[in-house]
Amino acid sequence: MTEGKIIKALSGFYYVQTNNEVLECRGRGLFRKKNITPLVGDLVVLERTEDQKGYITEIKPRKNKLDRPPIANIDQGLIVCSATMPDFSATLLDRFLVLVESKHITPIIVITKIDLLDDDELENIQHVKQMYEEIGYDVELVNASAGSDLSNLEKYFANKITTIIGQSGVGKSSLLNAIHPSLEIKTDEISVSLGRGKHTTRHVELIEIGGGLVADTPGFSLLDLDEIEAEELAMYFPEMNEIQHACRFRGCLHHKEPHCAVKQAVEDKTINQQRYNHYLHFLNEISLRKPRY
């Protein structure tokens, strides 16, 4: 038996990195019977065959997984937002942050296309950067066009599995091409009428960059909060989670309850009003969700 990590999944084949080689593998039929799908990032046990291929016989316990993109055991997520084309959306960024935090994945915020901003727009993005850094997030402002120096991003990759997250058209594939030009990942032009790009990444693959493994993943523009309960939501806003123990009532949702430490912090401007508004928006979305049985 050999152990390894799935680094690529394509058309029912799984490519497993062992200590010194990559083996093309199939999954055992028992996975299908149990409705289990091996994922990129999975640590697996495999049985070699005579033709130097193999069968996956066991999937080790996962510390986390994402369904879109399908990947497991992620250490961190580069949340890529564009400063323009499509316009920067703090609501969408906070939605991504909540999802990533809920999966116990360390988020890193990357805002692209800053070279396309005028002075006032750039100043606004600088304020955004400062606000998120004060919360405790790492934030990088980059120009992902060809020839840009993105060496400052490589420091995040060492000894980590990183997934790239963001809506279509924000420059995820361009970003990786700029970091690692030999990848030559296909990119498409932004649709002027829609303000977003086409999905150009067709499968999930872990690529060695900066001493770690990075997945370039399909962009998506909608995120649901189906796996998050109302009572959990504030945990995924670090500035709220830090002080919510000071609320008078256990189980405080930081909305209509009296003597709420979070609402007081918003009033005192130690919690950003816009972030709190996004929290209330997500809370309302969760409350309107149809019951699950």
* Binding residue numbers for GTP: 112-115, 166-174
Alpha helix positions (H), the chain: 29-33, 90-102, 119-135, 151-154, 172-179, 238-241, 261-267, 273-287
SS3 of 233-272: the string is HHHHCHHHHCCHHHCCCCCCCCCCCCCCHHHHHHHCCCCC
Residue that has been written with the tokens 């360390």 in this structure: 106
The tokens for 171 are 């420059």
Q: Please, what sign has the CA dihedral across residues 202, 204, 208, 210?
A: positive
Q: ω before 86 within 30° of 0 (cis)? A: yes
Question: What are the binding residues?
Answer: 112-115, 166-174, 247, 252, 254, 260
**Binding residue numbers for Zn(2+):** 247, 252, 254, 260
Tokens of 174: 């361009």
Relative to beta strand 71-72, strand 43-48 is unpaired
Q: Give the residue among 95, 70, 71, 92 at the shortest CA–CA distance from 81.
A: 92
Tokens of 75: 């250490």
For the chain, the C-alpha Rg in angstroms (whole number) is 21
CA 216, 36, 289, 267 torsion-angle sign: negative
Instruction: Please tell me whether the peptide bond between 61 and the residue prior to it is cis, using omega within 30 degrees of 0.
Output: no
